[in-house]
Structure 1
Amino acid sequence: MSARRNARPTVKVGAHVRFRGVKWQVVALSGQDIHLVGPEGGGEAVLAGHLFADPGFTVVGADTPQAAPQWGLFENAPTAAREKALAWQRHVREVECGLPGGPGSEGAVREQYDPERYTLAERERTEAEELTALGFGRVSRTTVQRMRLAYRKQGLWGLLDHRITRASSPTGRADERVVAAVREALRRRRGRSKGTINGLFPLINQILEDRHGPGTVPAPSQATLYRLVTNLARPGELPSGPVRQVPTSVDGRAFTPATALRPGEQVQVDTTRLDVLALFDDGRLARPELTIAVDVATRAILAAVLCPSATKAVDAALLLAEMAVPHPARPRWPDILRMDRAPALPHQRLAALDERLAGAAARPVVLPETIVVDRGKVFVSAAFTAACEHLGISVQPAPPRAPTAKGIVERTFGTINALFCQHLPGYTGSDVTRRGPDTQKDACYSVPQLQDLLDEWLVHYHHRPHEGLRHPLMPRKALTPNQMWAALVAVAGHVPVPLTGRDYLELLPVRWQAITPAGITIHHRTYDHDLLAPYRGQSSPVAGRGGKWEIHYNPHDVRQIWIRLPDGELTEIPWIHRDHVHQPFNDHTWQHIRTHAHHHNHDASQQHEADLADALDQLMRRVHSGHATKTEQALLARATTAPIPAARHPHHDTGPTTDEPAQHSDSDGQGANSENDSIDDLDGAPYDDLSPAPATGFGLYNAYEEADKW
């Protein structure tokens, strides 16, 4: 079997690696230790983390993986430029390996591009002649070579014509002496009462005469001065009227059942509307969109995400991370739904490989090799395919008008409807003929609540025998997805080289925000750092985004964001109250705090944000110490992976047990929960336990050693 296209390098027995400037051969994998043999016969056992952290570490003979693509920038290029870059990509791949689709793709190699018959220089010269004939202009071999090297280093971003992506100068072709005079005039007017733009003209002309002499610099036109002042003035200082100061198959195809022999070999992904009405944030009743990923080998539902609106490409890309990350068990779940209590799973051996499995839910964790998707624009988008390509995941689009190509995931939707949806209030049925007249009156769950119920049901699903899973020695015995995963987990006995931190940041969701004098504001949270000082109030160099800057964020931990500065690197910008909150939290928790907080002084927004941060910290401390209500415990359980103490007994609850806001008493200024919710007794509690648990990496897996234990 050929290697996966664009797969990341793997360390396995027999592979050669470069470590400390010396070439070694891997002879054994044992737990966290990798046993190496040097060129002179000397052996050494090295921890995997120490080996991967070596600056000169490489897997000899493996292709160097490309850096994470900068899709936030590529998608802002003009359509014609993107199409031309994609066309160049096929030609560059054909020059390098003979196939326009890249190594491992289908098709025949054309004779003039056969790597075994012609040198790279000859193939480049042939490609240049072909591109010239196709209308690409006069293309030389040097141009083809330059584009090929740019693609190796930067991917598709390197194939763009950067003359059209380069940000235009705010001053255009204006005389540099005039530009300097305008900047000086604006500087002198800073801190004074604003006038009009016309009022700056005499000052600009006076500065030009003082610096260069009378008549030396031609007087610019009024239109030029208007444009320069408008582009160079900072927000809040533009003297053009009052400006508010900004604060600091059915067509004959034969049906072929999908077959997979190891977990992750083939994963089918699809999206549909859930047959349950949910209450959206804006008060509407509608059906949320459900996206799931089903592993063919184990029939495990690796990820299931509900979205109020249509699923976006970034949401589909984040689905990849949901598959390969252990899901934490909720505190209120029965013990049988925990990984360490599931009899069908080899928990002790799995926990030795990854400590995160100790408190995980009893459901499979799989890194897919091939993903089968339909031709919806979400799954064929550049963001989703680029994330899959970078992670070494092959994307296989299903043939058009062939629903049987994804029969397993389509059937799984029916299972979810039959075993989960029809037991919920607000169930709409599969069509209007099955819909009851009081469906809208019965609907009572929000989308986050439905997601919680679905997450718990998924763990039950993996304990249920599946008719499509059979033991090879007992064909009449139906296995559960967990049992099949436990039986097949020893097949993939290799260690993928971990992604770099920069790669993870590039794959995070992207949004575009302005940098104000106060920093960056997102949902009433302010992010600021001294590094933003030169860019406050300035426009982003990215064209087509209205001057906003590219921001990457983690939806599960909003205590910091990452901004792409002009140097091209993603820089971390913390929340100004990050040191006051000791655990990760998401937007859902933040909105809960804002809903229950009283903002009496609408002018003191900074103090209000500080009060919200303090309320959030108190909420986390109550949950950590076991003094939280059931509502608060359930809220934090969705946002944390650390064990949470059980909720207090119902007669000790200090607030309502539903998601409705607590009723506060206006007569005495104290709510019903003011006495029991006091945290005065917690002031002496140490903060060490409030910090998140240290993250640990994957261990090494020895398939032969594991086979002896089974």
Structure 2
Amino acid sequence: MDAAWPDRIGTGDRVRLDGRVYTVGELQGRRLTLVDSSGVTRQMDLVALLRGCHGEVLQDGDAPAGSDELPSGDALGRARWWQRHVVEVLTGLTPDAPPGTQPRPAFDPAHRSLAEREEAKARELTESGMRGTSARTVRRKRQRYQTLGLAGLVDGRAGRREAPGVRLDPRVVDAVREIIHSQPRPGRLSAERVRARLLDRLAAPLADGEVSVPSRSALRRLCAELDGRPPQSATTTLTQVGERVHLYVVPVPALGDQPHGEPRLRVLFALDEASGVLLTAVVGDAHDRTVYGPALLARMCVPADQRTNWITPPSTAPGPAPPYPPVSSPPVIRPRTLVVDHASAPGMGALRAACARSGVRVQYARQAPTHERGRVEHVTATAAGRFAAYLFSPAGQPARAAGWPIERVQELLDTWVEDCWLHTPLPTRAGFPQTPLERYEELTAHTGRVPTPIPPEEFRHLLNSCWRVVGPGGVRLGGHFYDAPALHLMRRLVSPHGGRQPLQVRWDPYDLRQVWLRADEDEWLVVPAAPSRIRPPARPSIPSTRTEKQPSTCGNAAPAMASSPVGAATFVQASGPAAARGVVERTGVPRLPVVQQIHAHEAPDVRLAYHARLPLSVPEVSFAVDRIEDVRLLNQHADGARYGLLLHGPSGTGKTTAMLESWRSCTAPHDRQGDEPTAGTATAGLYVRLPPATSPRLLLVELARSLGVTLRGSPTTAALTDRVATAMADAGTALVLIDEAHHLHSPGWSASTVADVVDYLCDRLPATFVFAGIGDPDYLAARATNAPHRRLVPVHLSDMPLGEDWQQVLSAAEAALRLRAHADGTLPGLADLLHERTGGNAGRLAFLLRSAAVRVIKDGSEKLTAPLLAGLQLPRCDKASTAAG
């Protein structure tokens, strides 16, 4: 839209759409009925009109926003006189021009510029005897009319009002103000009670004749002006949407899993009192204080179906305006008064400041009449109960199985508000529609006005802001990753001061599904959350004819983690006590390839996928897995100190593979034992792959993210540790696997170390902690715990020597091959060559065999040969590498 962004659109307004001028004939909700000069009608969505490049609002009608506050008499008549001339300058026609009228030549927009039309109007008014009507005056009137509507043409002196009590003694005014504002309970003091307290407070000045008592009518007017509300009436009925919007926090009942029946979650509703529409709803932890902020106002002022793309540039593609959207589009409501409960809640100051900038009045609940507040409480309690019922319907089953994570519940809440609440009948007075959407449409049609969303620039400024660099994995914000193909060219941006160039990021703290990144001065990109960071899809399965016991695999860690970035969360069904509570544990573990029986005649793509994950059976990896299982069993039944393990050794020796295999056996013991888990078996496991320079807080954040715990704000290290320990205890965590332990780092300025945090978790939880890293075992153990000799059992994994174990590994690998022309005994016969090429490193051997198998399937030779295995390039062998095996 090129014209000024209006606050509201009403009947009688003129719009230009696809090059033609229309008048708003009627409206119902977001649906506008437009009529042109020839009587042709068309329907248009309010949001599509404002956002599209095909239309613009040219003028306000006879009932603009705020017309109820315009002065009457001569001032209003002169404003309407100016309106007639300004509209002709803008559109070429006066408001009362009959259909088919052609613009006068001097005011035809098709042949005259706006400046020329302003000069022509100034000459016309001057020739008619008006004084002081220069082109500059006409331009100023036109600009104020486009910004404020008819109110912008009113003489400012006509709207001036005296300050409250200006004709009374200042001591009387101050005393009345103190009496009103010192009222401790909600509600309003009657004028008679104020008068009685005033006489008591000013008894001495009144006795001396220094102050005169105001009349009862004057005192009643003064109380109303100081209180900021019209006189109280029990029959007050709001007829305009957005006139009062209430923020109310309600606990969500019947989510269980809490002692003494305490609610787990609470919902903050923004309820429009007139229509019953929920402008927005935000879910939070019942034990945390509700956090308000400017982003809450942004969510209220933009409909839910438009928030994602609201600050991105609208489409500039040529062609006609888009058709009218479905009737069930979310309503557009902009609050005029916001009623809040708590004046000192976190973020309330920022919310009040944002409301002041946007022209929204903030009112406290204690100032609202009791009967009105009771009605709001009844509606919000009904909404909370219906949402709880929705959570226990089939639609809420994933969140229920996951233990009610806040992010998943918030997604369900957004869907419920749009799909259910708007179309759910509510008990209302006779004559009113029965659903919030019907009430909204009825009220807008009755008043002839509909609010507009806030402009995109204002919406952007209300969102949270920060600066981030675009890394290889995208944008990291609050433990979440956001990535899109459009960020590819931004990963290499260099700052003029050196290093990578930070870019501005805006985000909605109540909706973490996307962020907005500033790519240019006027260009913003919508960057969604990386799918692999939320819930990575399972690997494609290989068709099988029977199930075999999975041997320990090695060398597949690098390919597996390449498709599942660090910290990727996978949902795994828990068993035992955790399953009894309906909990699904969140871990950062990718699925390991499962050895399955396939045949050489399978399709090439099936065999390619199989050989790309060809497993190796390595004795040291199997020993490490058994050792982890032994220690876990000891800790499960231990009454005193619990022990952990430290897997150490060079890169590529199978440390990560052993941890992932242990995780699989922990989360799904029936796959290994062939029976169902017993009721006393804790089977939940966590796997965390640490980033470089992991501090105590970062370790806790990684654990919390793996558990699915949403972290908001900046909790202290102690609070964060307690929250993680509680979440692990509630999930029945029995095994914690921490990979890349050499990345653990305790800053010198920090009061706590990584070892302190790990020792606390080990003492509090009946879980087995396993660390894996590269380097000296004593050095690694000292970083992980303050009592390494008492807590950690070292397990060393090394490269395999040339001998019997090496021959067994090659024989097992050859038996797993599904190549049509491969001769048995080839790999054991090339044992010396393969050991010379790989140095006995299981990871390098896995890479060599997989690469060779994939190549021979592609070229059709279907067999591994000595020249092929001797000629393939391998990664450089670096014993000091910091990549986990």
Question: Shorter-chain-normalised TM-score: which range?
Answer: 0.3 to 0.5
Which structure is richer in relative contact order (CA contacts within 8 A, separation 6 or more)? 1
More helix by share: 2
* TM-score (norm: length of structure 2): 0.33
